[in-house]
Amino acid sequence: TVEMPLMPSIVMVLNGPNLNLLGTREPHIYGAETLTDVENHLIQTGKDLGISVSCFQSNSEGDIVSRIHQARGETDFIIINAGAYTHTSVALHDAIKGTGVPLVELHISNVFAREPFRHHSYISPVARAVMCGWGVQGYALAIDGLAQTPAV
Ligand code: DQA
């Protein structure tokens, strides 16, 4: 028998700087749902799929680095929206590389249709998958993707 890779059963959703402002921040770009709405929805999406979802948001780069370290050994997959740190943070790149935690990079907006400074990502080279432009619905799509394609 061929052994199938295991579906991730513990997923951490990490949101970076300014994502606590969801719902009020540039709603034409990021939508009207608050982060709490989105997180509650994701926990439910996870439940329906047999995946335990934990959510964390921080405006501080060091806290996010520490969460990535902590995820090693206790989380099967990270879904990260690193916000503006995506475009600036060698520290996040190194944390992902150094821990080897499998990770999906996510952006609510289509960063490639926006300012050129959003076109470069320090996360993409160390991510298993990258998604952007699906609005806040992208988070649930990412969890669904992990449930369906365990080898991502
Ligand atoms: C973002 C895009 C980033 O460029 C921006 O700095 C954010 C949010 C997004 O989800 O579309 O804070 O990551």
pLDDT recorded at residue 150? 65
User: What pTM does this model have?
Assistant: 0.94
How confident is the prediction for the chain on average, in pLDDT?
94
Residue 18 CB–ligand 1 contact under 6 Å: yes
Q: Is 139 helix (H, G, I), strand (E, B) or coil?
A: helix
Strand 10-15 vs strand 52-57: parallel, antiparallel, or unpaired?
A: parallel
In degrees and rounded to multiples of 5, residue 3 shows phi and psi of: -85, 125
Task: In whole angstroms, give the CA distance from residue 92 to residue 64.
Answer: 8
Quote the ligand 1 centre to 109 CA distance (angstroms). Answer: 7
Choice among 85, 93, 107, 122 that is catalytic: 107
Chain segment 25-39, per-residue pLDDT in tens = 888 899 889 999 999
Chain segment 78-90, per-residue pLDDT in tens = 999 999 999 999 9
pLDDT recorded at residue 3? 60
- Residues in the chain where the model's pLDDT stays below 50: none
